Structure formats: C-alpha cells, structure tokens
Amino acid sequence: MAARAAESPSGKVSEVFAEGRERPGAYDLLESGLVDPVALAIALGEATARRAGNQAFTLVAVDGSSIALVDRGACKDFGSLGALSDGGRGLKVISALGISPEGVPLGLFSQVWWARTQARKQSSKERRRRNRNRKVEEKETRYWLTAIEDACTHAQDTKARLWFQLDREGDNRNILLKLAESGHRFTVRGSWDRLIKATGNDKQYLRRRLEREAPGGQYLLEVSGGPHRTARSACLVVRWACVVLRLRDRRCKSERPLEVTAVWTHEEGTCPAGEKPLDWLLLTNATVHTFEKAQHVIWGYTQRWRIEEFHKTWKTGNCEVEQTQLRSQRAVCVWATLLAAVAIRIERLKLLSRTAPEQPASIELKPHEIRALILLKRQLRKRTEVIPDTMPTIGPATLWIAQLGGYMGKSSGAPGSITMGRGLDRLWPAAHLLKALEAEPGSGRDG
C-alpha cells in the first residue's frame, strides 16, 4: 500500500487505488482495526535510526501540527481543532523528523497522535489556572515528551547522536528537563524572558544578562520579502553567555536549575521603520566558546524549518492527507503515516539534488525507476541534449523528474516539492509498467 501511495500520492484512498479489486481491499485493511499505527511509526523510526547511525550527528526537528478532517455532525471519533466556536474537527500530531548534517530529511523518528475530545470553552485566565494545577501526565505536553523519548530509544539501537531542534513551544519546564536528561544535544528557541540564577537575592532575567555581553560577532542574512516584511540584507549581531535557568514548578512550588548556553542573535541597524527586527533567543546545551560555535548553533536551528516543508508536502502539497474521507481515528492515523513516508521521500529527493548532486541516482531511485526516467527524458530532451544509458547522478535525475512535472528552469528557482510530486506522478506508472514488461517471459531479462 505504501508503494502504491508513492506511485500516485493522494489523500483520498479512491484516487490511489484505482483498480476495482484493490480499492475495497485497501478500505478493508484500513478500517479493519487490525493495523496498529504505533507499529508503523516504530518501523519508520527504526529505518530513520539506521540512516542516522551513519551520520556524524543527526538534527531532530520536533514540532506539532494538526490534520483537519471532514466530520459533519461530529459523529466520528475525531477531536476539536482551533476555537470551539469554529467547529473544526480532526487530529493532533507531534512529529520528530531526522535531518542529516547537510540538511536532508532522513525520515521520521516518531509520530504521536491524539484527539482533543474533552476541550471546553474557557477564558485565558481559567486556562492558565487549570494548567497550573494539572500534572504533566494530564497535559498535552506529555505527547512532546513521548516523541522525544521515542527518538532517543531508536537512536540508542544504532548509537546515533541526536541534536534536537524545537521552536518556542519547546520552551517548557518539563520539555527542557526531558531534553537535558536525554544525553543528547538540544536547541530550543526561547519563548519568554526567563529568570536565571544570580549572586545574592536579586532577581535577574536572561535578556538583561545577555545585553551586558559584548557582541561576539555579526553576519548578514538575506531576508526575502513578504506581506509584512521588506526584502533586505539584515545585519545580525550575536551574543552568548552560559547561564543557569531557574525552572519553577508552580503546582509543586519547587525549582530545578538547568545550565544552558543562551545564544542571542538579533537585527541591528537594518530593520525598516515600522517592522519588527529579527530576534532569536536560543537555549542549548552545546558548548559555545567562539563565534563559529555560536553560528553552528544558529545554523542547526534554521534546519528546523525542514519539518515545516514536510508538513506542507504531507498536508496540502502532493500527499493532501487532509483530503482523506476515512471514518475512524485509527484508519486515518494508519493512512496518514503511510503518506508521511511518501512525503519524506519527495522532500529527500528535492534536497539531495541540492546538497549531494554528484551521488548516483541509485541512492534514492530503484533500477526500473532510473530506466523509466531515462526513457521519458529522451522524449522531452532538447535537440542538443544527449541522454546516456549510464547511471545518472542524483542532481540531473532530480532535475529530469521536475521537468516531467512542468519545471521551467533556473529562472523559476530550484525545483520544489510540487513540481517534484507531479514529475513522480508521471515517472512511477511508467516505471511500474517497465518492471512488469521486463518480468514477462521472453523479455530477455530475469525480472
């Protein structure tokens, strides 16, 4: 089923399985309740850990998302999404995405699913008071902890070295302590100005402490334009300091110290009037003594955006998982997990062409896919192009796939997941047919 979904990605089962006998079989398998989505997630995690074991280190972007699903009348076992007044329905998920040091997705270490079935309308003040009095086992924080723990468990089997990357939602007492106890490196973007240990009884806050540090260096970052952002070369100044956070538990009225290095990079002198300057406050357990080390921490955090690209390809891009019309939470989780593996492969192909273009195409494509790609490319080649029979490298192979999907050339930028997905839609049926023909008796090949 995963192979078929890879040949023709779609959120609707009926569009992936077009043949009459396949379609009811797919629905029966998904809705039977006999396939455990946790077992599928474990299989993905083990495969990712094997790839990660061959890396010097592996970045792990952990982030939450939601799958909006059709549930008119709230008759399916989904949960609420967004504001209760909007009536949104679907499922929540935390994903842990493994990323190579070159920025290429390796796979999913973990996916943790749940439905918000007990959400109720309450004010912000009521919500804060309720959360303060609940144990971590009663909060959604527990799903983040599970995703981190799953990644660590898989990494232990292959001795992979992890470097967790979390956005502002990770700036949570329990998450920070979990990361610190994991034995792996972590970087978390700070969500607020935390209290830190200081001499005497005076209160000291993190940002004020960093403001006293002399700048350790600066660099230029090209910022693309947007609806509320002017394109520019932003000058970012970097400061860092080793501090001890005071992690307070208001429910138990206790406090735990946590030593981290705070790396603060913020824009100075280049932000247009009326716009908010770039500002990242990163908390890490990596050792930072030099500007180069600080830049390495910042670079690692920027790779966290790979999980945003994965979410786009998975949810609204090629895989369109939110278009599924399956009727149970379990079936959706199984189908969505299979489509997640497909989305990862599309993202891998896209990024391998940019980071390792000289590697053979066989690192990601199967022999019959490569043969089909060469044949299809010859139909589209320019007069001066020569397409050899030998193994292409992943760079041109990915470009050929994108051209099958309508990619027009460098003026359009690097091939993206949409054109890659459309190209794969054309490649995989041809590869499947070629493999079937070669398996026929008398074809001259042993299949």
Structure confidence by residue, pLDDT tens digits, 299-348: 999 999 999 999 999 998 889 999 999 999 999 999 999 999 999 999 99
Domain boundaries, the chain: 2-186+294-344, 192-284, 356-439
CATH architecture group of domain 2-186+294-344: Alpha-Beta Complex (3.90)
Cα angle 253, 284, 114 (rounded to 5 degrees) comes to 65
pLDDT by residue (tens digit) across 340-356? Answer: 999 999 999 888 888 88
Cα angle 176, 180, 182 (rounded to 5 degrees) comes to 115
Check whether 84 has a pLDDT greater than 80: no
Q: Do domains 2-186+294-344 and 356-439 have the same CATH topology?
A: no
Q: Assign 195 a pLDDT band (cuts: 50, 70, 90).
A: very high
How large is the average pLDDT for residues 205-216? 94
Comparing 42-56, 169-183, 312-326, 382-396, the range with the smallest average pLDDT is 382-396
Q: Going by DSSP bridges, is the β-strand pair 204-205/79-81 parallel, antiparallel, or unpaired?
A: unpaired
Check whether 154 has a pLDDT greater than 60: yes
Query: What per-residue confidence (pLDDT) applies to 447?
Result: 43
Considering 126-135, 143-152, 359-368, 384-393, the range whose residues carry the highest mean pLDDT is 143-152
pLDDT by residue (tens digit) across 15-44? Answer: 998 777 889 999 999 998 899 999 999 999
Q: Assign 436 a pLDDT band (cuts: 50, 70, 90).
A: confident
Q: What percent of the chain has pLDDT over 90?
A: 60
Check whether 180 has a pLDDT greater than 70: yes
Q: Going by DSSP bridges, is the β-strand pair 232-249/254-267 parallel, antiparallel, or unpaired?
A: antiparallel
The listed CATH number (1.10.15.40, 3.40.190.10, 2.30.38.10, 1.10.740.10) that belongs to domain 356-439: 1.10.740.10
